[in-house]
Amino acid sequence: MKILKFIAWLSIPVLIMLNVKSCHEAAQAKKENAFYKSEKLQNKKEIQIEAAIINRKISKQGIETVTINALSNILPVKEVLKSLIVDSIAKTNNIKPKQIVNYTSVSFVSKADYLKAIAQRDSFKNLVYTYRNKWLSVSYTPAKDSIDTTGHFAYQYNTELNQTQYWERYKVLGLKIGRKQAYVNFALVDSNARIQNVKNFVVPYQEPKFGISLQARAVYNITSNRFFTGPGLSLDFNKVNVLAYYYYNVNANRWEYAVGLNKTFLKL
């Protein structure tokens, strides 16, 4: 009987918090829809997502590596939700803009001149000119006769884009003893390729505004020299925390109810 009373008693703050959450989400959705339908979106200044390349180097094998600052473009959630570019990225991936946490795009060009072609016959005895290296395979079949007046090309290109994120300390008086800084290296495994630009942005993680958890709590009141223990329910909305507990008072040998409200003003 006591358990049923406890459940009924706890259902009140649960229903209140769920109703508040539902109203908040509905209001937020209405606000976002109104914004995207407004003319302000068309005239809004777009965000900058092209990253500054702070270092380029080419290995002995001819592989180019470029470096960017990993945290140089951290976008507030409000800017992400209002951005046409982010909206387009989200639609391409069939997700909502608020679901994006990181985006990276690398543009590159691979080119070479005066590649030596090899003439050979295929399985049908047709003359074919081919060129191959580690990454590229190209073949050209000339026109066969006056009816087939256009030859044709076939190609296959294979490469890898390697991304490495790491930290390095700032140099102080020539020594790496400063604070840590995060970087990202991009290396395209093709000696004929050169990276043109890198687009990148990061959206910081946002803690959920609403949360609910079942808890087990033990409390010792130093002043009254009493010990309490029992199950409870915790509801979080923004920085407000509602607590509801069913305590067993060991000293009085009975179950007692308790409810509380916490408001976070500072989190270190």
As a whole-number percent, the residues of the chain with pLDDT over 70 amount to 81
Closest CA to 196 of 108, 64, 105: 108
- Is the pLDDT reported for residue 45 higher than 60? no
- Confidence (pLDDT) at 139: 93
Give the C-alpha separation, 257 to 228, whole Å: 11
d(CA 24, CA 17): 10
In 3D, which of 100, 98, 88 has the Cα closest to residue 28? 98
Do 198 and 186 touch, CB atoms closer than 8 A?
yes
**What's residue 255's pLDDT?**
86
pLDDT at 157 over 60: yes
Question: What's residue 46's pLDDT?
Answer: 66
State the pLDDT at residue 22: 55
Give the separation between CA 163 and CA 184, rounded to whole angstroms.
7
- pTM of the predicted protein model: 0.63
What is the rounded average pLDDT for all residues in the chain? 81
Condensed to tens digits (0 to 9), the pLDDT of residues 20-35 reads 555 555 555 555 555 4
Query: What percentage of the chain exceeds 90 in pLDDT?
Result: 32
Cα–Cα distance, 238 to 241 (Å, whole number): 8
| pLDDT of the residue at 4 | 44
Per-residue tokens: 138: 């190209």
pLDDT, greater one: 78 or 100: 100
Token pair 């060991």 in the structure block, residue: 250
Please report the pLDDT score of residue 178 as a whole number.
Answer: 84
Is the pLDDT reported for residue 215 higher than 90?
Answer: no
Q: What mean pLDDT is predicted for residues 81-97?
A: 88
Predicted pLDDT of residue 243: 83
Determine the average pLDDT of the residues in 151-179: 89
* Mean pLDDT to the nearest integer, 106-126: 90
DSSP 198-235: EEEEE------SEEEEEEEEEEEETTTTEEEEEEEEEE
- The predicted model gives 79-104 an average pLDDT of 88
User: Quick one: average pLDDT of 225-231?
Assistant: 82
pLDDT value, residue 185: 96
CA–CA gap between residue 79 and residue 44 (Å, rounded): 11
pLDDT grade for 56, boundaries at 50, 70 and 90: very high
Assigned token pair, 148 = 């087939």
Mean pLDDT over 179-192 rounds to: 93
pLDDT value at position 182? 92
